[in-house]
Amino acid sequence: MKHYTMAGVLAVLLVGLAACAPTVTLAPTIAPPSSAPTDPQETAAVAVPTVVDEAPAVEQPSATPEPPVAARVNGQPIYLAYYERAVAQYEADLSARGVDVASEEGQAEMSMARAWILDVMIEQVLAEQAAAEAGVAVLDAEVDAYMQALVDENGGQDEFLAKLSERGETYESAREEVRKGLLGMAITQLVSEQVPTVTEQVHARHILVDTQEEAERILHELQASADFASLAKAHSQDASTKENGGDLGFFPRGILVAPEVEQVAFALQPGQFSGVISSTLGYHIVQVVERDPQREVSADNLLLLQDQAVQQWIESMWASAFIERYVDVGP
């Protein structure tokens, strides 16, 4: 499953309106049409008959039927009208870019778009639900400031409203989309902030080669007291570290592309080197130079760890959610 929370999507229905405005993540508004009641029980009139002997039973009026839904996320509906409007707008944007939507290429892209749009909407609802559970909210002032930025970047209030109208939107529906997007940013920021900025790290070198036979030969040289950095410069296939003697610098857990190498590195003490380690990249030998039980994580590594934490959080939401889909996203 591909996830979109950090993909920089303002809203499917506002694409193109926020070219220079702040970036909001997540999906379009998932809300019932304005003509639909949010709670059918609130709008259904209940008749209370007068008790009269042998009077005919008064028929209770039926509750207002729920609008058609495209999907349900833990019981919460994503209304079909909003999904179809997003798909129609994407198709219109595709045509505006010169793509013939009736062609094989256009149909293939629309098929992917339908699946993508529904997934984005589902993920929006998942994030909303997580935010509610965590007590995360967005202030009206934040939403108003973002909306004003959109207005300014689109030539003023009249021009902005005209653009929204062309896309079947109103100021109120656009504002709600922005609120939900900002809410998604707030909850993902909360997840990111839980990543520790100080943690155990190791400073290591490695040598990467293509075959196990070559790795075994280099290992024999190391066991005969050859210099690790010199062998890395001479033989390693890792162009990013070769000239520095295979130096990987300090890193925390969860950073290296080859988790097998990382696992071994954290098991070694300074001065020790490993045996031959196999990974999808090839064959490695690792040497630990230093260990630090409490070291500040570099800005680049912290960003990677935060992205990983958010991705794992998203995956856990999808895994634990009960999702029902009612639309065919195929061609």
Domain ranges of the chain: 12-194+310-325, 199-296
Cα-to-chain-centroid distance, residue 71: 19
Confidence at residue 66, expressed as pLDDT on a 0 to 100 scale: 80
As a whole number, mean pLDDT of residues 95-122 equals 91
Full 3-state SS string of 161-174: HHHHHHCCCCHHHH
- Residue 19 zone, left/alpha/beta (φ > 0; ψ -120 to 50; rest): alpha
Structure confidence by residue, pLDDT tens digits, 263-297: 999 999 999 999 999 999 999 999 999 999 999 99
Model confidence at 331, pLDDT cuts 50, 70, 90, reads low
What pTM, to 2 d.p., does this model score? 0.73
- State the CATH class of domain 199-296: alpha beta
Confidence at residue 64, expressed as pLDDT on a 0 to 100 scale: 75
Element (H, E) at 310: helix 299-320
The answer to whether 9 and 25 are in contact (CB under 8 A) is yes
Confidence at residue 299, expressed as pLDDT on a 0 to 100 scale: 95
List helix spans (H) across 206-274.
212-223, 228-235, 259-265
Model confidence at 166, pLDDT cuts 50, 70, 90, reads confident
Confidence at residue 189, expressed as pLDDT on a 0 to 100 scale: 94
Element (H, E) at 286: strand 282-296
Residue 155 predicted with pLDDT over 70: yes
Model confidence at 330, pLDDT cuts 50, 70, 90, reads low
List helix spans (H) across 135-275.
140-153, 157-166, 171-193, 212-223, 228-235, 259-265
Confidence at residue 62, expressed as pLDDT on a 0 to 100 scale: 60
Residue 4 predicted with pLDDT over 90: no
CATH of domain 12-194+310-325: 1.10.4030.10
Structure-block tokens of residue 259: 């988790």
Query: Which residue in the block uniquely carries the two structure tokens 């108003």?
Result: 144
Residue 176 predicted with pLDDT over 50: yes
Structure confidence by residue, pLDDT tens digits, 187-231: 999 999 999 999 999 999 999 999 999 999 999 999 999 999 999
Residue 5 predicted with pLDDT over 90: no
Model confidence at 51, pLDDT cuts 50, 70, 90, reads very low
Rounded to 10 degrees, the C-alpha dihedral 122/123/126/131 comes to: -140
- For residue 122, give every residue at least 6 positions away whose Cβ sits within 8 Å of its Cβ, in sequence order, or none: 71, 73, 78, 321, 323
As a whole number, mean pLDDT of residues 119-124 equals 93
The answer to whether 210 and 44 are in contact (CB under 8 A) is no
Residue 43 predicted with pLDDT over 50: no
Q: Which residue has the higher pLDDT, 219 or 105?
A: 219
Confidence at residue 301, expressed as pLDDT on a 0 to 100 scale: 96
* Average of per-residue pLDDT values in the chain: 83
Model confidence at 65, pLDDT cuts 50, 70, 90, reads confident
